[in-house]
Structure formats: structure tokens, C-alpha cells
């Protein structure tokens, strides 16, 4: 029997290595949720001094309420655009459970959080749409597991969603494979780990009172005056913490990343995330009937 030229095993293998594509509906849902998230993080910087800029504890429930249906919308849109089935949702659940279980292992010591390395590799395989949902759901599940539920939780969900989505937006594996791909993912994980910490600092900086004048948030001050204070705040409070997270992500990606990538891609193939290999029988044989070996 001979493989069809259009569906040869090598072609299918390359296709299954690609992240799950984004359709127009999934893109629209991700843009909407990202805009809402950006406004949720940044509005204190643009508010005047008379506004209640420290009321993140009050706006967090509203953000969480908006976040959940939008996450469902991303999943539904991605499934509709890609033609996948419920197995895709099952894969998300399994990876979210594994990521939630990894978070307590580091106990936040010096920023050593192994779940970030799993999110980088999972986002690479699942693509930006499912990657965003995976990151947000994993953070939600880990918060329930560790008792970390609070007004900061929806902001962590957004930040981890962006973190995982970014890995799915990297150049496709048909361009980079093997060691080169791992180097790219480790570089992304290193930089994105700092980006995650910086975004979460933006949430905490506007609500922490009693800071030194050189690093404190001043309500109503122009943006160009507050941003240098924020940069000083990041350096003074979390730079070392973010460095530990970034270094662990790089080490785990370079050491076990190749094996985990293969396992994830094999799992997505078995879950029918991509087109499977089909074979053509001899000319005149009924379609779908396997030919006899000779």
C-alpha cells in the first residue's frame, strides 16, 4: 500500500508539530479579553487623584466574572475554527491539573516555580488560543489547590494566559526543530518570566501603601513620572525573585523540554488534533478498504 501524496506520514507529522491554528473567531475573542485585561491592569495609571485607584479588590470580582465566559468563548471559537472535538477540552483539563500540581512544588521559594516551564512547552504545542485558556485555567486551579484565592487571582490568570499564549505565537516548528527550538523556547521562557513578574507588580504597586517616595505610586501623577518609580519598585522588590523563576524555566526547558515536547505532540496526534494519515488502495478499490499486501 502506498501513502497518498497529500497525506503522507511525513506531511502529517509536520502538521501535527504545528501549534493549533487560530481562526477569526478565536482571534476576536483573544483580542477582546486582552483589551479588558490591559484596561484592568493599567487604569490606575490613567486615573486622576480623586479616583479610587486602590480599589483592585473591588474590581477583581467584576474582572473574574468577565473572564470566565470569555475563556469559554476562546475554547468554543478555537474548536469551531479548527474542527476539533471534546478530546481537545480533555487535553486542556489534564495539562491544567498537572500544572496546578507543579506549582506547590517550588512553594514560591526564590521564585522557583516549575509550572512556568510546562506552560511554555504546552503553549508551543497547543497554540495561542488554547495556550491562553490553559494558562488561565491552570492558575485558577492552582489557586484553589494552594489556598491562594484573592483579589489578585483574576490578574494572575490573565498574566499566565498571556505568558502561555506567547509561546504559541513563536515561529512554527517547521522552521525550528530540535536544539534550535529548545533554545528559542528557553529564551522566550527567560524573558517572559520577567514579563510575568513585571505585569503582576503593576497590580500590586498601586495598592501597596507606605512605600519609599522614590518607588511609591502617586495617584494622579503623570504617566512619565510614575513609570520611573515603577521601574525602581520592580528592581527593588522582585528582580531577584523573577530571576529565579526565569533561570529554572531555562534549565528545565533545556534538560527535559525535548522529551516533553515529543510526548505532548504525540498526545495531540492521538487526540485527533490534526489530520491523520490516510492510505489509498489500488486503482478501482473501494474507498476506505485497506488493500491486500503483496
Mean pLDDT of the chain: 79
**C-alpha–C-alpha distance, residues 194 and 191, integer Å:** 5
Domain ranges of the chain: 21-275
Q: What is the pLDDT of residue 161?
A: 94
Q: Write down the CATH number for the domain with range 21-275.
A: 1.10.1760.20
Cβ neighbors of 136 (< 8 A, separation 6 or more) are 67, 71, 157, 158, 160, 161
- pTM tops 0.85, yes or no: no
Reference 236, options 179, 184, 197, 286; nearest CA is 197
Q: Which residue has the cell 492552582?
A: 142
Q: What is the pLDDT of residue 84?
A: 63
**C-alpha–C-alpha distance, residues 191 and 101, integer Å:** 24
Cβ neighbors of 45 (< 8 A, separation 6 or more) are 206, 223, 226
**C-alpha–C-alpha distance, residues 238 and 259, integer Å:** 32
235-292 pLDDT per residue, tens:
988 888 899 899 999 999 999 999 999 998 888 776 655 444 444 555 544 444 444 4
Per-residue pLDDT, averaged over 151-159, amounts to 90
Contact 160, 152 (CB under 8 A): no
Per-residue pLDDT, averaged over 119-124, amounts to 94
pLDDT band at 88 (very low <50, low <70, confident <90, very high): confident
Q: What is the pLDDT of residue 110?
A: 59
Q: What is the pLDDT of residue 127?
A: 87
**C-alpha–C-alpha distance, residues 40 and 256, integer Å:** 36
**Residues 135, 137, 138, 139: is their CA dihedral positive or negative?**
positive
Between 220 and 121, the more confident residue is 121
Reference 46, options 255, 221, 228; nearest CA is 221
Share of the chain above pLDDT 90, in %: 31
C-alpha cell at 64: 473574574
Amino acid at each position: 500500500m502506498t501513502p497518498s501524496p497529500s497525506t503522507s506520514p511525513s506531511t502529517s507529522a509536520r502538521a501535527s508539530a504545528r501549534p493549533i491554528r487560530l481562526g477569526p473567531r478565536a482571534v476576536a475573542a483573544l483580542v477582546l479579553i486582552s483589551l479588558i485585561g490591559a484596561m484592568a491592569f493599567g487604569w490606575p495609571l490613567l486615573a486622576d487623584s480623586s479616583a479610587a485607584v486602590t480599589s483592585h479588590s473591588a474590581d477583581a470580582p467584576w474582572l473574574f466574572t468577565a473572564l470566565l465566559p470569555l475563556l469559554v468563548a476562546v475554547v468554543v471559537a478555537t474548536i469551531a475554527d479548527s474542527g476539533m472535538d471534546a478530546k481537545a477540552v480533555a487535553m486542556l483539563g489534564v495539562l491544567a491539573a498537572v500544572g496546578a500540581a507543579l506549582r506547590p512544588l517550588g512553594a514560591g521559594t526564590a521564585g522557583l516555580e516549575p509550572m512556568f516551564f510546562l506552560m511554555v512547552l504546552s503553549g508551543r504545542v497547543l497554540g495561542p488560543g488554547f495556550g491562553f485558556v490553559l494558562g488561565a485555567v491552570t492558575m485558577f486551579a492552582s489557586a484553589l489547590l494552594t489556598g491562594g484565592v484573592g483579589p489578585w487571582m483574576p490578574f494572575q490568570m490573565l498574566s499566565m494566559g498571556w505568558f502561555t499564549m506567547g509561546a504559541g505565537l513563536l515561529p512554527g516548528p517547521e522552521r525550528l526543530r530540535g536544539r534550535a527550538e529548545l533554545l528559542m523556547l528557553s529564551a522566550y521562557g527567560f524573558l517572559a518570566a520577567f514579563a510575568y513578574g513585571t505585569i503582576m507588580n503593576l497590580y500590586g504597586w498601586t495598592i501597596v501603601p507606605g512605600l519609599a517616595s522614590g518607588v511609591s505610586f502617586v495617584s494622579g501623577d503623570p504617566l512619565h513620572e510614575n513609570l520611573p518609580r515603577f521601574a525602581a519598585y520592580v528592581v527593588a522588590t522582585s528582580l531577584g525573585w523573577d530571576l529565579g523563576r526565569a533561570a529554572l524555566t531555562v534549565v528545565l526547558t533545556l534538560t527535559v523540554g525535548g522529551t516533553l515536547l515529543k510526548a505532548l505532540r504525540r498526545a495531540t496526534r492521538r487526540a485527533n488534533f490534526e489530520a491523520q494519515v490516510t492510505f489509498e488502495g489500488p486503482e478501482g478499490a473501494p474507498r476506505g478498504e485497506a488493500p491486500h499486501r503483496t
